[in-house]
Structure 1
Amino acid sequence: MRRFLTLLTLFFTLWAGGAFAACRADQVSLRNDAATVRFDIELAVTPQERSRGLMFRESLPNRSGMLFVFDPPQPVAFWMKNTLIPLDMIFVDRTGTVTRVHEGAIPGDLTPIEGGDSVFAVLEINAGLSARYSITPGTQMQHEIFSQGPAIWPC
């Protein structure tokens, strides 16, 4: 009985702490063997939202970002025109698997940053956070946008 109560307490502690929390439109979680991390995000779904992105912003709060959604998956390339802060770009396929990470995109640089042929989503975060949280190809992403597809880490 004591062991059962201990396990029950652990379950509710994890649940209250968000380990079993439902997906939220304003958050994305990433996990791999090294870490699990959550970012507060803004969504960029329409062509106008994706075109504007994070341009003209002077800062981005830590553990925040913007999630660009491309449905259906397609080839994408980003540039840093009118973007004032250095960013990491995390390219994700339809299953929620990171396929490419571009670290340290340079503010104002017009060089295209290619994401691949079948990109479903791109998460932009402050430069350096991909390395800090070991976000690499194979890392899994969780967000409600993956609920209609073959998500590896569903909500």
Structure 2
Amino acid sequence: MSLGRVGLALALLFGVLTSSPVFAAAAVEFGSSRVELVAAKDGHRTALTVELATTPEQLEQGLMFRRHLAPGSGMLFDFGQPRMVAMWMKNTLIPLDMLFIDVDGRVVHIEENAEPGTLQPRGPVQKVLGVLELPAGSAARLGLRLGDRVEHPMFQENLVKSR
């Protein structure tokens, strides 16, 4: 194959890759933060490092197209104000646990082992301020229950605003 044809083949391949959803998804970057899960029963604390989804682009993409999510990590979705939320698994390649969190940082709904790729909406029948997505099995492994708290500045800031 001539050098010109190799260059053309590479240019075409690059064009296909950059127009694919997987490549487009990589363009959205996420900041990171720390959260602490606090058990309502005994006060046991578990620290996690999470990515933050706060912008419309980040909230839309979430963990789509990811092939791995390490234990002890996750993604925290901050919706800015309490609202009705339904999450789905479109273009999500890994199973997830989802913690739906109210304005006070309390876990009000837990979805365990959400199946990758499904369009089934998941969520509580009440408004939430955030959702914490974790690798599937994390909720059971950590003994997470309704009423447990997620400590993060987004919940403290919202409490201050509401007073």
Deviation at residue 131 of structure 1 after TM alignment: 0.8
Task: Tell me what 2:136 maps to.
Answer: 127
Task: Tell me what 1:71 maps to.
Answer: 80
Task: Tell me what 2:37 maps to.
Answer: 30
Deviation at residue 52 of structure 1 after TM alignment: 0.2
User: Are the structure 2 counterparts of residues 116 and 47 from structure 1 closer, same or farther at C-alpha, using a change threshold of 3 Å?
Assistant: farther
Pairwise mapping of residues 94-133 of structure 1 onto structure 2 (< 5 A)? 94-133=103-142
Q: Which runs of 5+ in 1 are unaligned?
A: 1-24
What count of residue pairs does the alignment treat as equivalent? 127
TM-score (norm 2): 0.74
Deviation at residue 73 of structure 1 after TM alignment: 0.4
Task: Tell me what 2:151 maps to.
Answer: 142
TM-score (norm 1): 0.78
4+ residue segments displaced more than 4 Å? none
SS of the residue corresponding to residue 85 of structure 2 reads strand
Is 2:100–2:123's contact at 8 Å kept on the other side of the alignment?
Answer: no
Deviation at residue 114 of structure 1 after TM alignment: 2.0
CA RMSD of aligned residues (A): 1.4
Q: Which runs of 5+ in 2 are unaligned?
A: 1-31
Deviation at residue 149 of structure 1 after TM alignment: 3.1
Identity %: 43
